[in-house]
Amino acid sequence: MSARTSSSGRIISDLLRTSRASPSCDHLRFRQAFCKTPRQSRHVSTAAPQLSEMEVDADRPPRWSQTPPALKAPVRVRPPRIQTPLKINKDQRKLDDFYVRFLGRDGDKMLSEETKWLAVTNKSFDAGRRGFNDRLAFFGKRILELQCSLGLISVADASRYPKSKELDPYGRQPFGHPATESVECLLGGAHHWFTSHKQLSTLAEQYGLPEVVRWHPRDPDRLQASGSELVYSQAILAIIGALALEQGGAVANQIAKEKVLVPLGLKLNWKPKAELAQPSQPQR
């Protein structure tokens, strides 16, 4: 009887021992995740440092000097043309001499080296893989057109510029005043003449721009038929736009007036209009 009682007691104690609340699997994972002692670890990265767009690797040559390797095809598909290519300038000193002739003293120091080459590079050169001056020329054209309009409006003697020939159908005469006399020059073709590609390219040749501009003409023996006027004038406008970005609008306006518009014949021997508007005082 006693043996049966002891065996039954042992069985009950075993059942009670196994029925105690034991930590579940979720509870154990929670304790392992949050109650673990932190370990000091050191992470070492072997990746190469990434340079920003404004930083330049000292070992990597500048973009203007060579074609970026990522833009080169492994095999040339189109056969080379059988013609003498146009000689492209690669001399930095020759480029600096042009900027001194165009911008004046210390003109080679007004722009960064990369911008100086970019301003004289056309889209046709190396298929545009080294950068080109389209955006700079667009900005510079807006500046030159504005200064040309201001110059035509403020010119004293407007009789030497063509005016609009449209007559009023009713024979009415507009109000005349020395301060508004030259407004009609904006519609008479003078504005288009000063900002045309032909005049700007002629001026660029006087400064020696064709010797340093970088472009690939379709026919090297016929530069004008290949669009040299557009290329030269676009380079002049791109330099003005680059000056506005790096030196400010005041410098770009001054260069546009003194180095482009005045040599083309705008505002020669002119007087301020404030003097014309004032009545002349009798001499005593």
Domain boundaries, the chain: 92-165+174-277
Residue 4 — left, alpha, or beta (φ > 0 → left; ψ -120 to 50 → alpha)? alpha
pLDDT tens digits for range 112-140: 988 999 999 998 887 777 888 999 999 99
Residue 107, phi then psi, degrees to nearest 5? -70, -25
CATH architecture type of domain 92-165+174-277: Orthogonal Bundle (1.10)
Q: In this structure, are residues 122 and 237 in contact, taking their beta carbons and an 8 Å threshold?
A: no
- Could you say which DSSP state residue 87 is in? P
| Of the listed ranges 18-32, 176-190, 229-243, the one predicted with least confidence | 18-32
Alpha helical stretches, state H, 61-196: 92-103, 113-119, 134-154, 190-194
How far is C-alpha 103 from the geometric centre of its chain's CA atoms?
19
Q: How many CB atoms lie within 10 A of CB 201?
A: 21
User: What CA–CA distance (Å, rounded) separates 240 from 246?
Assistant: 10
Through-space distance between the first and last CA atoms of the chain, rounded to whole angstroms: 155
- Could you say which DSSP state residue 180 is in? T
Length of the chain counted residue by residue: 284
Q: Predicted confidence band at 83 (pLDDT cuts at 50, 70, 90)?
A: low
Who contacts 51 (Cβ-Cβ below 8 Å, separation ≥6)?
A: 57
Q: Predicted confidence band at 242 (pLDDT cuts at 50, 70, 90)?
A: very high
Compute the radius of gyration of the chain from its Cα atoms. 38
Q: How far is it between the farthest Cα atoms of the chain? A: 155
Residue 120 token pair: 């004289």
Q: Which amino acid is at 263?
A: P
The winner for highest mean pLDDT among 71-80, 103-112, 125-134, 235-244 is: 235-244
